[in-house]
């Protein structure tokens, strides 16, 4: 379990494919405090540490995960938003994040607004029902608040206001038009949709 509060930006140091894809990620984390088998969110994807050394750790990424995450994410030199799993008693600074990607979005607009940046993302019909103004969403592992929502031909475009701090300490500061991003919907929205499904079914 995570909170969507990024604590380091890692870099993909190497990618190998002996079976599943082995990805080595460089990090500022003190890896002596990271156990083998620990979970780390890598731009919104919960992965298991399978090897480590000074300032690096390795994860195995399945073909299924690669097929469901942002295009070109698993390439050498790619920057990742990193977050270690929550411990009992940790401050919940963002919102509850599972590290499971629900779908992909595409950046369709970027604009400066004062010191902040407005980012607009378009996502498909599978994501649309779960995006609401003032609701929470996770983009590439970053907990954010949805500002605006517009439904277009069954899809959804939603606007996010990225404050200067978040812009500076996450990979969102280098986001580009047309870029593919990982989206995780709010877990509460997921349960509410399931409850509504059974309410309608029973009526």
The fold adopted by the segment(s) 103-202 is: Elongation Factor Tu (Ef-tu); domain 3 (2.40.30)
pLDDT for res 90 = 66
pLDDT for res 193 = 67
161-178 burial code (b ≥16 CB/10 A, e <16): bbeeebbebbbbeebeee
* Ranges of residues in the chain whose predicted pLDDT is under 70: 88-94, 190-203
Q: pLDDT, tens digit, for every residue of 132-189?
A: 999 999 999 999 999 999 999 999 999 999 999 999 999 999 999 999 999 999 877 7
Residues ≥6 apart with Cβ < 8 Å to 199 = none
pLDDT for res 87 = 74
* Helix (H) or strand (E) run with residue 82 in it: strand 79-84
Outline which parts of the chain fall under CATH 2.40.30.20.
8-84, 103-202
Instruction: Return the sign of the alpha-carbon dihedral for residues 176, 184, 169, 15.
Output: negative
Find out whether 44 and 81 touch, Cβ atoms under 8 Å: yes
pLDDT for res 195 = 67
Which CATH class, in words, describes the domain spanning 8-84? mainly beta
């Amino acid at each position: 379990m995570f909170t969507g509060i990024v604590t380091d930006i890692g870099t993909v140091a190497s990618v190998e494919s002996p079976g599943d894809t082995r990805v080595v990620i460089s990090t500022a984390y003190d890896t002596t405090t990271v156990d083998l088998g620990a979970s780390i969110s890598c731009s919104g994807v919960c992965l298991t540490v399978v090897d480590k050394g000074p300032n690096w750790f390795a994860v195995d990424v399945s073909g299924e995960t690669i097929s469901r995450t942002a295009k070109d994410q698993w390439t050498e030199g790619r920057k990742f938003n990193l977050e270690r799993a929550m411990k009992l008693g940790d401050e919940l600074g963002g919102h509850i994040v599972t590290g499971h990607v629900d779908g992909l979005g595409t950046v369709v607009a970027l604009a400066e607004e004062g010191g902040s940046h407005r980012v607009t993302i378009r996502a498909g019909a599978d994501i649309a029902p779960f995006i609401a103004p003032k609701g929470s969403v996770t983009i590439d592992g970053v907990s954010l608040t949805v500002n605006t929502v517009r439904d277009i031909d069954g899809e959804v475009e939603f606007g996010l206001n990225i404050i200067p701090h978040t812009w500076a300490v996450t990979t969102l500061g280098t986001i580009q038009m047309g870029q593919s991003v990982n989206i995780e919907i709010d877990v509460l929205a997921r349960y509410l949709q399931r409850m509504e499904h059974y309410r309608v079914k029973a009526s």
